[in-house]
């Protein structure tokens, strides 16, 4: 008899599980996916670039349509929100988002891929028009439409999404005030690297961009639409629209209610096979806890790249195979108008928090032979442990090819290499691509010299 697989959520991990199960030979299953949204399997990461205007039609962000999955034999149920998981009866309770009608679905295996949703701070008059969060495809469409009629925007929160939307708005000639509660934008980076990023952003478009740190929006003002924002420090800023990109929270309330064990930040705890604490219930994607390979601690770093890997792992195990997902390094990248910011592993501050004997270096080099016209600077910060001499993490920012270096060193960190192992790496060299001693190897040599001085 066919196994019944129910998948809750249609973001990145859910469709990945479905696609992998549909391709798995020798596993005969009936797949039902339930989502409260009216679309599945679209690139949330692409939405800022759609808003910017780099992608004409939002439909290009759709990886696979419900029809494409249904043609392969899966059942996609749009507008159906799971409101309860009942593990004892191996069923889920569903509510139609329009009719509020209740229904049930039985499962043999359940995959919880309910993702995360924007965190909305406590701000007065948050329900005014032209105030947005960016999570669903329709949010992207609405933000773009409003942007095209706006001259001024306020972005609340300077994380990756905030910075990507800043690029989108600036390119579309808006004036933007970006308000960050902490002392630095992109606080996922160390402060010194975040300073470099902020300098670049400010210098690039000094007339158009105003970054405000150590402050937060307490109230919105307006009749119907938002017209002003008011901050704790007393700033009053005119605006045509407001974006709230102040972080996300995991959609795990139903999992918790069902008795599934939670981890950090209320994410779902899973083992290396993506199994939750409850039999036959798997989880993957933005709603789960991650194991960090360097700190060997549990973290929550929800990223599309991990969601896909976790989905693949969950699918193999759901289908009766055996696969493990070892964990993450937290590798990530974004850009702001020709300037790349990328990191992997632990920052200096994270490494200190975890008790490493931290040593760091910061080096700035040209990313290609200096005489090549396309040559640009990148600044690389390395973080290592003084005692084991192992590489703990790296951050790279600049107009140069930064993410290439981060992926190369991520591979070394994954392999638990020391700085001395790494600096002998045979990297490719030709003048349009790098320098004879790649900036990454230069950084490692500087770190090695510093480690030896400390011997």
Q: How far is CA 77 from CA 60, 96, 100, 297, 349, in A?
A: 21, 10, 14, 37, 44
Q: Round to whole Å and give the CA distance between 71 and 403.
A: 38
Min. distance of Cβ 389 from a copy of itself in angstroms? 15
User: Contact between 417 and a copy of itself (CB under 8 A)?
Assistant: yes
Closest CA to 310 of 329, 332, 328: 328
The one catalytic residue in 29, 45, 287, 313 is 45
Query: For a copy of itself, which residue of 403, 443, 444, 447 counts as binding (CB under 8 A)?
Result: 403
CB of 73 to a copy of itself, least distance (A): 21
For a copy of itself, which is the closer residue by CB, 258 or 413? 413
We find the least distance from the C-beta atom of residue 30 to a copy of itself, in angstroms, to be: 24
Which residue in this structure is represented by tokens 């309330």?
253
Taking CB under 8 A as the rule, does residue 317 contact a copy of itself? no
Q: How far is the CB of 429 from a copy of itself (least distance, A)?
A: 4
- Shortest reach from residue 412's CB to a copy of itself, in Å: 5
Least distance from C-beta 325 to a copy of itself, angstroms?
A: 6
Per-residue tokens: 404: 């290439």
Gap between the Cα atoms of 284 and 442, Å rounded: 38
- Residue 425 in the binding site for a copy of itself (CB under 8 A): yes
Contact between 141 and a copy of itself by CB under 8 A: the answer reads no
Q: Is 289 in the site for a copy of itself (CB under 8 A)?
A: no
Output the smallest distance, CB 91 to a copy of itself, in A.
Answer: 31
In angstroms, rounded to a whole number, what is the distance separating the alpha carbons of residues 230 and 409?
43
The correct pick among 79, 152, 427, 450 for binding a copy of itself (CB under 8 A) is 427
Does residue number 243 form part of the binding site for a copy of itself (CB under 8 A)? Answer: no
Q: Hey, is 344 helix, strand or coil? A: strand
* Beta pairing, strands 102-106 & 377-385: unpaired
**Known active-site residue 313:** no
Which range, of 129-137, 225-233, 301-309, 353-361, touches a copy of itself by CB under 8 A? 301-309
Q: Is 113 in the site for a copy of itself (CB under 8 A)?
A: no
Interacting positions 46-85 with a copy of itself (CB under 8 A): 46, 49-50, 54-55, 60-61
Are 419 and 364 a contacting pair, CB within 8 Å? Answer: no
Which of these ranges, 94-102, 140-148, 358-366, 416-424, lies near a copy of itself under the rule CB under 8 A?
A: 416-424
CB 177 within 8 A of CB 212: yes
Q: 237 vs 301, which CB is nearer to a copy of itself?
A: 301
- Among 445, 454, 402, CA closest to 425: 445
Q: From CA 391, how far away is CA 414, in angstroms rounded?
A: 10
100 binds a copy of itself (CB under 8 A): no
The pair of structure tokens assigned to 134 is 């960016």
Q: Does residue 305 bind a copy of itself (CB under 8 A)?
A: yes
**Residue 98: which residues within 8 A CB-CB, separation 6 or more?**
79
The radius of gyration of the chain from alpha carbons, rounded to an integer in Å, stands at: 23
CA–CA gap between residue 16 and residue 238 (Å, rounded): 43
> What is the rounded distance in angstroms from the CA atom of residue 82 to the CA atom of residue 320?
25
Whichever of 215 and 421 has its CB closer to a copy of itself, that residue is: 421
CA distance 330 to 383: 14
The reply on whether position 308 binds a copy of itself by CB under 8 A is yes
Among 64, 309, 386, 450, binds a copy of itself (CB under 8 A): 309
Strand-pairing partners, residue 219, are: 124, 230
* CA-wise closest residue to 135 among 47, 210, 233: 47
Interatomic CA distance for residues 140 and 244, integer angstroms: 13
Residue from 30, 205, 208, 411 binding a copy of itself (CB under 8 A):
411
Stretch that binds a copy of itself, among 99-107, 118-126, 136-144, 335-343 (CB under 8 A): 335-343
Positions in the binding site for a copy of itself (CB under 8 A): 12, 43, 45-46, 49-50, 54-55, 60-61, 160, 293, 303-309, 312, 325-326, 328-335, 340, 342, 344, 369-373, 401, 403-404, 406-412, 414-415, 417, 421-422, 424-434, 436-438, 441, 445
Q: Which of the residues are catalytic?
A: 45
């Amino acid at each position: 008899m066919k196994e019944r697989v129910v998948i809750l959520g249609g973001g990145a991990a859910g469709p990945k599980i479905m696609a992998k199960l549909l391709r798995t030979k020798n596993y005969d299953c009936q797949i039902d996916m339930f989502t409260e949204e009216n679309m599945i399997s679209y690139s949330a990461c692409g939405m800022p670039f759609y808003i910017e205007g780099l992608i004409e039609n939002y439909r290009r962000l759709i990886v696979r349509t419900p029809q494409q999955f249904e043609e392969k034999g899966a059942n996609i149920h749009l507008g159906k929100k799971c409101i309860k998981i009942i593990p004892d009866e191996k069923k889920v309770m569903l509510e139609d988002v329009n009719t509020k009608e209740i229904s049930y679905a039985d499962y043999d295996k359940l995959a919880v891929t309910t993702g995360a949703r924007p965190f909305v701070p406590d701000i007065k008059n948050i329900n005014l028009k032209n105030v947005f969060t960016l999570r669903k495809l329709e949010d992207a469409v609405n933000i773009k439409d409003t942007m095209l009629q706006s001259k001024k925007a306020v972005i609340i929160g300077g994380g990756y999404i905030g910075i990507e939307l800043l690029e989108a708005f600036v390119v579309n000639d808006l004036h933007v005030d970006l308000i960050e509660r902490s002392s630095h934008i992109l606080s996922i980076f160390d402060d010194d690297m975040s300073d470099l990023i902020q300098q670049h952003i400010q210098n690039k478009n000094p007339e158009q961009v105003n970054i405000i740190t150590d402050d937060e929006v307490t109230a919105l003002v307006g009749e119907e639409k938002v017209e002003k924002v008011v901050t704790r420090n007393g700033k009053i800023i005119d605006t045509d629209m407001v974006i709230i990109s102040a972080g996300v929270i995991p959609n795990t309330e139903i999992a918790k209610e069902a008795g599934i064990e939670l981890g950090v930040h209320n994410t779902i705890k899973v083992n290396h096979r993506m199994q939750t604490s409850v039999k036959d219930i798997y989880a993957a994607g933005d709603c789960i806890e991650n194991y960090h390979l360097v700190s060997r601690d549990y973290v929550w770093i929800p990223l599309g790249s991990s969601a896909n890997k976790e989905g693949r792992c969950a699918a193999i195990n759901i289908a009766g195979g055996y696969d493990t997902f070892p964990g993450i390094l937290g590798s990530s990248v974004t850009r702001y108008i020709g300037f790349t910011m990328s990191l992997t592993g632990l920052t200096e501050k994270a490494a200190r928090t975890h008790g490493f004997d931290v040593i760091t270096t910061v080096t700035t080099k040209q990313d290609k032979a200096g005489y090549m016209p396309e040559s640009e600077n990148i600044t690389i910060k390395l973080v290592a442990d003084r005692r084991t001499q192992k590489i703990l993490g790296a951050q790279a920012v600049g107009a140069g090819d930064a993410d290439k270096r981060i992926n190369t060193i991520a591979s070394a960190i994954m392999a638990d290499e020391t700085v001395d192992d790494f600096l002998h790496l045979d990297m490719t060299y030709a003048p349009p691509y790098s320098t004879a001693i790649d900036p990454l190897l230069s950084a490692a040599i500087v770190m090695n010299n510093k480690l030896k001085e400390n011997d």
